[in-house]
Structure 1
Amino acid sequence: MSSTVHDRNRWTLTPDRADLRRPARPPRSIELSALPQDLSLDLERAALLIVDLQNDFCHPDGWLASIGVDISGTRAAVETVAAALPAVRAAQIPVIWVNWGNRPDRVNLPPNVLHVYDPAGDGNGIGSPASSLSTAVLEAGSWGAAVVDDLTIVPEDIRIDKYRMSGFVDTPLDSALRNLRVDTLLFAGVNADQCVLATLMDAANIGYDVVMLTDAVATTSPSYCLDATVYNVRQCFGFTATAADLVKTL
């Protein structure tokens, strides 16, 4: 798919002419059950964004588990995404992994971001050792920042490191999506009420169509946080559907 991805936004060049017309991409329409309304989608203009399904958040040897957080709820999202990926890739929908992957020196992280993960200032947050496997919490290139062991990235997938709750702040995500000629974003990952929601809100605010796949998101927060998130996505930002219905439709 990599050549197809790059071909989505290109000029045709000869020594004496630049043809600025982009390649024609006939619509590939599907009908998807969703709330608050059913959707008609063009797969040629869609992408799947998978947020923070990484070892530090979702693996029993990762950072959250090491500090006593119950990560069992994340398993459903991991399993749902694993089941959906073959159909998504077969449909040539770009798969974009948006994960925390911080600089080792943390020079681009303001104090409020560091505080979220180390509220007492004990030095146990981003960049600190977390377990025998996670050498540096959420640090780019570390085991903890890698996509959770249960999931596989293929060469055609796209990886974006993020440094905030939102995957759009200080990252090339928006540029990548615009070069892919994408309008509609399908959201999966964790935590639904935190990084998934922050990324979804920013996407909606800059004009993307957003759809949260409710069986492909999860959170370690109390259940009422997820309830409020789903309500607000439908009420304020876009739509909710399920990965199961998407796969069935594909």
Structure 2
Amino acid sequence: MSRDAVDLRRPVLEPRPVEVAALPQQLTLDLSRTAVVAVDLQNDFCHPDGWLASIGVDVSGAAGPIGALAATLPALRAAGVPVVWVTWGNRPDRANLPPGVRHVYDPDGASTGIGDPLPGGSHVLELGSWSAGLVDELVPEPADLQVAKYRMSGFPDTPLDSVLRNLRVDTLLFAGVNTDQCVLATLTDAANLGYDVVLVEDLCGTTSPDFCTAATLYNVRQCFGFTTTSAELLAGLHP
């Protein structure tokens, strides 16, 4: 770019195909056009002092994929795959949340809902707070990107789509919690926007009953895309 001219050409991305075992069929992925989308791996959902645990939810299922993701990300980063952290982080005044969303998380109007204080002093899912922060075991690298969301899906009312398109990716590897809720909602919107979607089973977790995960995996394979595991991804990177 100069005072007199602007070059609008994008870099030409050299294809980097890898073969990955998946369901319902084996995949060929282009690593140069692939990103990891990691959803809601934050304290309020996964930590024993977070919001869900404070209202009596067993968060062990949400914390389950943390170790596997921490072990998998270095190899994906080394292969040049961008990592995008999508976490629920609301405005402190909750001005962009419609009544229906606020009701879902405080149905009787007298419980601990979005934006309410927790015993440790943080506020539920508030942007910039400990509650909305990633768990300690997952440390973003400087090149990683972070996007705050305000709904089950990471796409409405956020820059996620713009970020991904500027990365020039069209295949998304999904990790995070909850498998059957925010991960599925974000994956579904991604598929509807034209991205190719792959849910990495052991990098996702949920506090819901097991049948919810089974239904999610069925629907992803049947209607939206593919499922694989971190072991199969790593095997594809290092055949």
TM-score (normalizing by structure 2): 0.96
Q: Does 1:35 align with 2:23?
A: yes
Pick one of 60, 69, 93 that aligns with 1:72: 60
Pick one of 151, 165, 170 that aligns with 1:164: 151
Give the C-alpha shift of residue 78 in structure 1.
0.7
Pick one of 5, 8, 12 that aligns with 1:24: 12
Partner Cα distance (2:33, 2:144) in 1: 16
Spell out, residue by residue over 1:81-100, the C-alpha distance to the aligned partner (whole angstroms, 9 max, x if none): 11111111111111000000
Identity within the alignment, %: 65
Partner Cα distance (1:17, 1:54) in 2: 44
Partner Cα distance (1:171, 1:120) in 2: 28
Q: Does 1:131 align with 2:122?
A: no
- Find the counterpart in structure 2 of residue 118 from structure 1: 106
Q: Does 1:207 align with 2:194?
A: yes
Spell out, residue by residue over 1:26-61, the C-alpha distance to the aligned partner (whole angstroms, 9 max, x if none): 101100000011100100100000000000000111
- Find the counterpart in structure 1 of residue 176 from structure 2: 189
CA RMSD of aligned residues (A): 1.1
Unmatched segments (≥5 aa) in structure 2: none
1:55, 1:62 within 8 Å by CA — same for their partners in 2?
yes
1:47, 1:96 within 8 Å by CA — same for their partners in 2?
yes
SS of 1:228 mapped into structure 2 = helix
Give the C-alpha shift of residue 243 in structure 1.
1.4
Give the C-alpha shift of residue 18 in structure 1.
3.5
SS of 1:70 mapped into structure 2 = coil
Give the C-alpha shift of residue 70 in structure 1.
0.5
Unmatched segments (≥5 aa) in structure 1: 1-12
Q: Does 1:150 align with 2:163?
A: no
Partner Cα distance (1:104, 1:27) in 2: 43
SS of 1:41 mapped into structure 2 = strand
Paired AA for residue 92 in structure 1: G
Partner Cα distance (1:86, 1:120) in 2: 43
Number of positions where the alignment pairs a residue of Structure 1 with one of Structure 2: 237
Pick one of 66, 69, 88 that aligns with 1:100: 88
Q: Does 1:180 align with 2:167?
A: yes
Give the C-alpha shift of residue 75 in structure 1.
2.6
SS of 1:73 mapped into structure 2 = helix
Give the C-alpha shift of residue 112 in structure 1.
1.1
Partner Cα distance (2:38, 2:46) in 1: 13
- Find the counterpart in structure 2 of residue 52 from structure 1: 40
Give the C-alpha shift of residue 74 in structure 1.
1.9
Partner Cα distance (1:14, 1:69) in 2: 56
After TM superposition, the structure 1 stretch with the greater mean CA deviation from structure 2, 203-212 or 73-82, is 73-82
- Find the counterpart in structure 2 of residue 5 from structure 1: none
- Find the counterpart in structure 2 of residue 224 from structure 1: 211
Give the C-alpha shift of residue 224 in structure 1.
0.5
Moved beyond 6 Å, runs of 4+: none
Give the C-alpha shift of residue 244 in structure 1.
1.8
Partner Cα distance (2:30, 2:208) in 1: 33
After TM superposition, the structure 1 stretch with the greater mean CA deviation from structure 2, 226-235 or 71-80, is 71-80
1:62, 1:131 within 8 Å by CA — same for their partners in 2?
no
Partner Cα distance (2:169, 2:41) in 1: 22
